[in-house]
Structure 1
């Protein structure tokens, strides 16, 4: 199943083909289900297996057909906005100043700035839009730093946490289009050297990116009250 998902999803989730139904596999299943207009629950039942081009559920991984991964029940189920955020992966700025991605303009509509182009830094607009779609009130502010005063502080990272980072020693950051050095996105994972975030305006698009902790400082993790 992981191999099939790697082949049919664009961009590829690049799942390790290890038979471990973890968080990333669950997220890939949800993305696939949305592209096929199936119930996006992350459970690989008969319809999902058939949509993957397999003749029957008999050959599907048993654990996938029975339940969602433990990782999701431990964290992802508490962050329903993440399915919405992952559903936007691949949205990117249009080439040329005269062309604008209407979806990114829609993200801007979730803030008081309401920019009408896709060149204005839009990481906070994306987070505001996602949270609004999930039924939460955001900051209504286009500044990434505004999220440091939102919700409640987390002492440690948690899947789905709204995370504010800042480029060390710089007021601008080409990787995130930031004019202040600040960036906001959703926490996915981390190691001792990198933090992985899902966000907008990461390489001019909505995607997962790994940020070096040698180049960026984590300013805060926030969670809805």
Structure 2
């Protein structure tokens, strides 16, 4: 089963912030797609903008905010990881949000933006995940690993 929002998110893998004082216009465009055209610099934390932009491009609602932990209250709650789910985690100063693309008994692989200043897949310990949710109205997969992949995953870095 193809999940449109995950396909869209995958298409951004490799996108990164501008170097130094330069802004990457493709990252800045994510803010507008997420409903925040007032943001003009990619140095503003953009994980929630990435998730919101992917959801909206897939025809699904987003939280409409740039606060990552607002996704803990989004959609339909799921109690464990499912490929395509939206996961949040807390961190110093706020939170982080990403899409689950794979998991095992110990880890969740998350496809997200602003993961070491780029879109990539990162392996997170399951023990640090704050919440999982499913886009309301989107079809739920028959198998929790349907469409799973972790190719190109990197070690977790900064989400700030």
Provide the TM-score with structure 2 as the length reference.
Answer: 0.79
Normalized per residue, which structure has more strand? 2
Residue 55 (structure 2) pairs with residue 124 (structure 1)? no
Query: In 2, are the aligned partners of 1:126 and 1:199 still within 8 Å (CA)?
Result: yes
Structure 1 residues 150 and 95: CA distance shift in structure 2, 3 A: same
Give CA deviations for 1:182-223 in whole Å, capped at 9, x if unaligned: 100000112333221000000100000112346xx2111111
Residue 66 (structure 2) pairs with residue 142 (structure 1)? yes
**1:113 Cα offset (Å):** 7.2
Note the 1:74-89 alignment, pairs <5 A: 77=2, 79-89=3-13
Within 1, Cα distance between the matches of 2:80 and 2:106? Answer: 16
Within 1, Cα distance between the matches of 2:35 and 2:15? Answer: 18
Within 2, Cα distance between the matches of 1:193 and 1:84? Answer: 27
- Give the paired residue count: 135
Within 2, Cα distance between the matches of 1:92 and 1:200? Answer: 8
Within 2, Cα distance between the matches of 1:104 and 1:113? Answer: 12
Of 76, 79, 90, which residue of structure 2 is paired with 1:166?
90
Within 2, Cα distance between the matches of 1:114 and 1:158? Answer: 33
Which is greater in Rg? 1
User: Match of 2:146?
Assistant: none
Within 2, Cα distance between the matches of 1:160 and 1:213? Answer: 16
Where structure 2 has 5 or more consecutive residues not aligned to the other structure, the ranges are 137-160
Within 2, Cα distance between the matches of 1:194 and 1:155? Answer: 15
Normalized per residue, which structure has more helix? 1
Query: In 2, are the aligned partners of 1:113 and 1:141 still within 8 Å (CA)?
Result: no
Of 200, 205, 212, which residue of structure 1 is paired with 2:113?
200
Where structure 1 has 5 or more consecutive residues not aligned to the other structure, the ranges are 1-72, 172-178
Give CA deviations for 1:11-66 in whole Å, capped at 9, x if unaligned: xxxxxxxxxxxxxxxxxxxxxxxxxxxxxxxxxxxxxxxxxxxxxxxxxxxxxxxx
Of 181, 187, 207, which residue of structure 1 is paired with 2:100?
187
Within 2, Cα distance between the matches of 1:194 and 1:122? Answer: 23
Within 2, Cα distance between the matches of 1:114 and 1:146? Answer: 19
**1:143 Cα offset (Å):** 0.5
Residue 135 (structure 2) pairs with residue 224 (structure 1)? yes
